[in-house]
Amino acid sequence: MPSMFSLAGKNAAIVGGGSGIGQAVAQGCASEGAAVTCLDLDLDGALRTAATIREGGGSAEASELDIADGPAVTSAFSAIKDMAGSLDIVVCTPAINFRKPLLDYTDEEMDRVLSLNLKGNAHVLQSAGRIMAEQGSGSIILFASIRSLVVEPGQSMYAATKAGIVQLVRAAAAELGPSGVRVNAVAPGVVDTPLTAQIKNQPDWYNAYATRNIFSRWGAAKEMAGPTVFLASDAASYVTGTVLFADGGWTAIDGRYTPPGM
């Protein structure tokens, strides 16, 4: 029997495929047989990911994309559909964060976070949703975060956008489900990526985060590929409008202190 996780014959657009989680997801989808298009503001990174996939025997192309530009998102997804014949999977991973108190945020910084994290993901949902609704099938996966549930000082705007992504996913799932389109989110915990380099460079901060989850370690970008492939595949054919937390148990526990005798 073919694997229920197989993506053979499917065309996947991975936004953010040039590095970090997006790169790992692109490689994971390709390893399960999908023809992958790596889309990223960093074209060189997208090209490198695509080249690595092809070197491993997979099918991959690359293109530049800024999800803050709605017409560009529509054009990119339409091009994939026209060239490949279908757009079966869309994954969107990019986000930006200014780690600073809310009272210190400038209007420009607010606009940048909202434009990329929230409006950009809405562009992805709109453009992919229109194509998939017309073809009668598809899976869209956005990236939320543990910050959609729990926060700390310096995470205000980022957390607000990640919570917003969850609600976008739920609403889109409700609206697109009758057309055969599934919409879900993956919510990572602390993962080693370029976005978290600031923390990795400060050992006390880095180690404090590691001890906050059940496994007492950070996640690797490749560990986000499995949950994403699951949601993209037929194994998740009855899963929509949900958030899959891949956080090492961060949101399941309240601190790491173990009482004496336990």
**Residues identified as active-site:** 158
Q: Which of 33, 26, 9 is nearest to 63 (CA)?
A: 26
Can you name the residues that pair with 244 across neighbouring β-strands? 186
Can you name the residues that pair with 91 across neighbouring β-strands? 14, 141
- The Cα 196–Cα 209 span in angstroms is 11
